[in-house]
Structure 1
Amino acid sequence: MRVLVQRVCKGAVSVDDTPVAAIGPGVVLLVGVTHTDTPDKADWLARKVAHMRIFEDEAGKMNRSLKEIGGEALVVSQFTLYADPYEGRRPSFIHAAPPEHARPLIERFAEALRAEGIRVQTGVFGAHMRVEIHNDGPVTIWLER
């Protein structure tokens, strides 16, 4: 599993110009799943996101976690994180898991974040989404397990 963590002031998702999710300060999480991913990986990544110290304390140091600041998370499935762009001109997505494998793991990841006490919103799995990301910093971190 791959998670692109982006610290944000706010984030939102819409489908067909209809808002479906929105968060305030926290993280937008773009999540990709490959064929060999497991629920244990989803759980580990959720714990990592909840407790990773990427928010500033009173001294301006990144010493506070998403959980500590009471931040929110917007989970967006993104199979293109497993794109292989190196052969030809069109990326291959053979490393991305099929929907029947990916969807339950994306849902598990979101539920594991909720179990950590994080308020979670999600995009719409498989939909063409417009994702609004207002980066804070910017702080962008790549996680893979």
Structure 2
Amino acid sequence: MRCDNPGTLRWSPDGTQLAAGSSQGTVVCWPVGGKQAVWQVANVGQKIQGLCWSLDGALLVVATKDHRVLCWQAQDHTEYMLWEKLPSLLRMLSISRQGWITLASSEKRLLLGSPQDPAPTLTASGQLLAAWSPIRDELATLDEHDANALTIWSV
């Protein structure tokens, strides 16, 4: 599998699986140190812009070049969520401890929603990057007007 898109390789939180997304749109998950088979997650047909795991390792979330976000349940390998026709190209994604999926977009804004929502329900403009803390209810963002301004939002 050819993975020439940065940010397409992620360990599961417990370190037992490694997920990769390719420029051709394939998502694969390899077990590490176990005897289970490789999980051929999906062939979504579009370049994988990014992927991440929920902190409990239960969900694998993938953002594609055609403005979609897909989510699978890791235990039974079933599709759990699909957001389509998002307004811009996704640059980065992160999941909070409570399960909020946060997308940093090429429009310099954040899109947020829970996996139960049919689409993102909140937006915040002016942010280039975003990452949730794995141990606190805090979101780190980078301001579009000042590359030296890192903001920590406490939720």
TM-score of Structure 1 vs Structure 2, range by shorter chain:
under 0.3
Greater helix proportion: 1
Greater strand proportion: 2
With structure 2 as the length reference, what TM-score do the two structures score?
A: 0.26
Task: Give the structure, 1 or 2, with the largest relative contact order (CA under 8 Å, sep 6 or more).
Answer: 1
